[in-house]
Amino acid sequence: MAEAARFRDEAEIGRFNALAREWWDPNGPMKPLHRLNPARLSFMREEMLSHFGRAAQAMRPFKGLSLLDIGCGAGLVSEPMARMGFSVSGIDPAEENIAVASDHAAKGGLSIHYRATTIENLPDDELYDVVTLLEVVEHVPDVGAIITEAAKRLKPGGLLIGSTINRTLKAYGLAIIGAEYVLRWLPRGTHDWDKFVTPEEFEAQLEAAGLEPAARRGMVFNPLAGTWVLSGDCDVNYFVTARKNAD
């Protein structure tokens, strides 16, 4: 029970279970993720094409590779990754999320292996070419523990991609005050500023887990266009990637 508490925040799980049925509504509580997803997928695709030396013009460039989506929610990333050719597994401790994800994938004709569980419960020999930690570390009790477990699930030569919110006053103003209280894009209480992780902290945990940090990139919201764009500004939302030694 004590070990599980490092990976599960029951209040967070309950909050996301309550939102599960609205996850795929582009104008619902997950609207910010729907808006963010094009920039997020663009970054991931370019990083993975470069890392694995795949052809950008291929219809399913990642066919033959496997991907683990940790904290997959209802599948906003898992589904496009499957369409790009990955054999995808998605895990999330919120059972309602997994039920919605499984149903949505089946209706779309996609074969994705979803499970309502946390990373430490996966078999030690279940390894993947890519592991994602997208908008996850700011919702778990022990950031170092989940990054360590994620690194264990990478094959030699694999790639980890993470994204989260920086712990800055700018992030507090935009991601909490702005998004939750002023614009009401998210339910109040979705984020806790004390749980935000700086890029330096994230990368230090990646190195402690035996990975080599490879890239850092920010995302900023363009209010005129209503879209997110990739940027060098990591003050609020940002990505990090890390490689596992092939030896």
Angle between helices 95-107 and 10-19 (to 10 degrees): 40
Length of the chain: 247
What number is the average pLDDT over the span 104-131?
A: 96
Comparing CA positions, the residue from 197, 198, 202, 176 lying closest to residue 187 is: 176
Element (H, E) at 162: strand 154-165
What distance in Å separates the CA atoms of residue 91 and residue 214, rounded to the nearest whole number?
25
Per residue in 68-114, pLDDT (tens digit) is 999 999 999 999 999 999 999 999 999 999 999 999 999 999 999 99
In tens, the pLDDT along 147-168 reads 999 999 999 999 999 999 899 8
pLDDT of residue 185 exceeding 80, the answer is no
pTM of structure: 0.90
Confidence of residue 196 (pLDDT cuts 50, 70, 90): confident
Asked if the 4-244 domain carries CATH number 3.40.50.150, the reply is yes
